[in-house]
Every structure is written in structure tokens, then in C-alpha cells.
Structure 1
Amino acid sequence: MDIKSAFLNGYIDEEIYVEQPQGFIAKDDLIYTGNNEKMIQDFKEDMMKTFEMSDLGLMHFFLGIEINQEKEGIFMCQRKYTETLLKKFKMESCKTVTTPLVTGEKYQKEDGSQKVDGSIYRSLIGSLLYLTATRPDIMFATSLLSRFMQSPSQVHYAATKRILRYLRDSDWAGSVDDMKSTSGYTFSLGSGIFSWASKKQATVAQSSVEAEYIATAAISNQAIWLRRILEDIGEKQEEPTTIYCDNKSAIAITKNSVQHSRTKHIDIKYHSLREATTRGEIELKYCSTEEQLADIFTKALPRNKFEELRMKIGVCHKHIKGEY
């Protein structure tokens, strides 16, 4: 719905002026949704009685995101945004690649190559981060390269441009500097994923088991937060949220409250995972590395594996009708 004369519906006697802050965009469009047709119709009629507004029908475009609503589901993409991004950085005719990162490449702060304009690099990273709203397949690559925004080099800039080359083709312990591992996760509800991230861990893990345990603890905090949101909207989860982990030893730590020499140094804040499993909010299950969807958020993968996981997390070809 489009609200006419937005911000000008107040009853006042004096003149007022509104200055739009730099970097902000005024929007007068309203989106609404629900699973009860009568409630939706009543809401629309009440709003139109109160404000001068027009019904624009089904949503097709919002905040740079294109939406296609069909019987088999709702599909979202940022095709126009991607095309604009490619033109902005003069990459609309670039040679394409099939993955956003080179497998086995190690990036570090001081790599010996020439430094590049930091403002351009930061602008590109920021643009890519917004694109991850509908492109989880570039989440890891963008998150990894965002670590070098303070002093980017030619190597870093070339890697970010590779992401653009990958995007053009898609019309269809990893840190060397501080040896910190990367945590990645994705949450699904129904047939699609709705929350994902790729982040460098705050502490240096002394083993792969510890890295997995720290990552799982952080993911459990996100899971509990999401459970609270679902409860607030009337969808309380009676069963525990299942988290799949591909490290049996990390799972074993959560089931053993005894401090061993190999685990006593782990920060106590990460042991909240044990409490969450005891309360029945979280359930850890083992899955093999080959079945771990979160791998697409933690490392650069070979093409075949990358495309397999990309399909499984729901990134697919879908033609969005119309131009906006």
C-alpha cells in the first residue's frame, strides 16, 4: 500500500520543516501479510479510512529486492541491484567464474601487494553485504574479505572482484593473520532457510574440537533468540531445536559436565550450550562432513561441492517477471 502525503497528516497551526538526515531514504510504502484473508481485508480497509492511500496489489519489488509470489512458494532475488552493482564497478562485461572464491587461497592483512583505495573497497564490500540478504552463497566470501577493509591490497580487491565475476555468471581455521577459526550456520523453517551467517570466532581455538564447540555454542544462542521470537508471535516451540554438528567430540563435551585438561581452558560463556541442552531447548545431532550444509559458510569449496550446497540452501534459477 502507498501512503499519500506521508508525514503530513498531523493537525498543527504552525509551519514545520523536516530535514532528511544524510544517508536516509524516506519511504511511504507499507507491506503487510498474514494467513487470514478476512483480517488482511479488515486491516486494509481500516488503514484506508484513516489515511489517504492506495492499494498497489501484490508486492513485486521492495528495498531493492524483487519478489515473485507463486503457488509453489515465494521467490526473492536482487537481479536489478546486481546489474547496477556490476555497472557501478565496470564489471558488466567481465569474464565469469563458477565459484566466489579460489579454493585453497589464504588471505592475510600484509600480503606484500600494493594497497588500493580503501573507500572503493569498503563501498564494494558494503554493497555485497546487502546482497547477501538473498544470496547466502556469497556470505562466506564477503564476510572473509570484509576483514581487510581497514587496509585492503590488490590481492583483496581482486578477490572481491571475483565475487562480482561469480555474480555475473549466476543468471541462473582459516585466518592466516590470527589463526582464528570461522563459524558458519544456517537455520531453516519449512522448506527454506531464513537466517544465516559467516563470522570469524573471537578467540583462538586450540583444536578443531574446541573450534566446533565454540561455533555450536554461538549457534545455540542464535537458536534460542529465534525461539523467543517465534514464541512472541504465538508459535512457541515445544520440541528442542536440532543443531547438526559434524564433530562427535564437540557433541560429547556438551554431554559431560566434568572439566578435563583439554576443555578446562574454554571460556565459561560457551558452556551455556550445556545448559540449553539440559533445559531441552537445544538438541545436538551428528551429521557427516559431506552432509554439513554450513560448510558453504566456512570455507572455499570446489565447484561441484559448492553448487551442491548452493542448491540445498535454496539458491536457484528463477525468472522474475517484469522490470522495475
Structure 2
Amino acid sequence: MSSMESDLNALLDGEENQWLLFLIEELWPLKVPALLFHVDNRGLVEKLKKFGSNSKTKHLDIKIKALREKYSTNEINIKLIPSEHMLADSLTKAAPHQSVKKLQGKCFLAGSSFFSEHLPQKAREPKPPSE
């Protein structure tokens, strides 16, 4: 499987979560922006912008056409970003130590910000060590 095909499949899986937007808009009077996907595969972005088929990607045509339609109607947005800014990039291949450390730091920040926002002050205070 090519990297473009695996990224395309991941994009299709993420796009299935669009039903959450419909649910939110149905329950509350909110206008939720289109789903935004960060992609680090330039070939995939180009395929979505300018559809063209060749013998190597012919088996992906139906998937690409479905996503291209959603992209052209602004149901989804796709932003090309460098691979080093992809948090989960270190989970997709053998990654250098620094990449894994960066992921650990980001996970800790996300976890600590969740706890600081959602837990009462008393629950955030550290417990004294038991003897």
C-alpha cells in the first residue's frame, strides 16, 4: 500500500465523523465549521484539487472522487502541513528518539490542560505522600 493510499484511507475514516457535525447542528443552533484535516502528503492534496487518473491510482478513483466532491463543496477542508508537525507521525514508522520525546511532551500538555480545565481546584492539588 502506498503512503498516498494509506493517507487517503485515514482521511476517509476521519471524514465519516461528519455525522457528529450534523448531530451538533441538529441539537443546538450552532454553525459548526467544516471538518479540517491536517495532511502531510502533497500527492494526496494534489489529487483532491486536480483529479487525474493513471494506472497506479486507478483503484483509488472512487474514493478520491467522493472526497473531492466534499472538498469542492467545502464540507471538508484539508491543510498541508510538514511531517514534523504531525503529532502521530512518530507512531507510523520507526521514529528517532527526539520525535518520540516530542510526542510525549505534547501528550503531557494535552493531559495536564484537560485536568486543569475539568477538575475542581481541590482535585488538582497534589496529595501528600503517605507514610
TM-score, reference length from structure 1: 0.31
Quote the residue 1:242 is aligned against. 36
Gapped regions of structure 2 (runs ≥ 5)? 116-122
AA in 1 matched with 2:9? I
CA, structure 1 residues 233+301, in 2 after alignment: closer, same or farther (shift >3 Å)? farther
- Per-residue CA deviations over 1:116-145 (Å, capped at 9, x if unaligned) read xxxxxxxxxxxxxxxxxxxxxxxxxxxxxx
- Per-residue CA deviations over 1:239-261 (Å, capped at 9, x if unaligned) read 32221111110111111233222
Quote the residue 2:47 is aligned against. 253
Which one has the bigger helix percentage? 2
Q: Select which of 226, 231, 235 maps to 2:25.
A: 231
Instruction: Give the deviation of 1:208 after TM superposition.
Output: 1.7
Q: 5 Å matches for 1:149-160?
A: none
Q: Select which of 99, 111, 117 maps to 1:315.
A: 111
Would the aligned equivalents of 1:241 and 1:281 in 2 still touch at CA under 8 Å?
yes
Percent identical pairs in the alignment equals 30
Would the aligned equivalents of 2:48 and 2:64 in 1 still touch at CA under 8 Å?
no
- Per-residue CA deviations over 1:257-304 (Å, capped at 9, x if unaligned) read 332222211262454211211221111111001111232553454443
Q: How many residues align?
A: 115
Q: Higher RCO, 1 or 2 (CA under 8 Å, sep at least 6)? A: 2
Separation in 1, partners of 2:94, 2:7? 18
Confirm or deny that 1:214 pairs with 2:14. no
AA in 1 matched with 2:3? S
TM-score, reference length from structure 2: 0.69
Separation in 1, partners of 2:53, 2:23? 33
Gapped regions of structure 1 (runs ≥ 5)? 1-204
- Tell me the secondary structure at the aligned position of residue 284 of structure 1: strand
Q: 5 Å matches for 1:82-161?
A: none
Larger radius of gyration: 1
Q: 5 Å matches for 1:25-44?
A: none
Which one has the bigger strand percentage? 1
Q: Select which of 53, 72, 75 maps to 1:278.
A: 72
Q: Select which of 277, 285, 289 maps to 2:83.
A: 289
Would the aligned equivalents of 1:293 and 1:309 in 2 still touch at CA under 8 Å?
yes
CA, structure 1 residues 269+248, in 2 after alignment: closer, same or farther (shift >3 Å)? closer
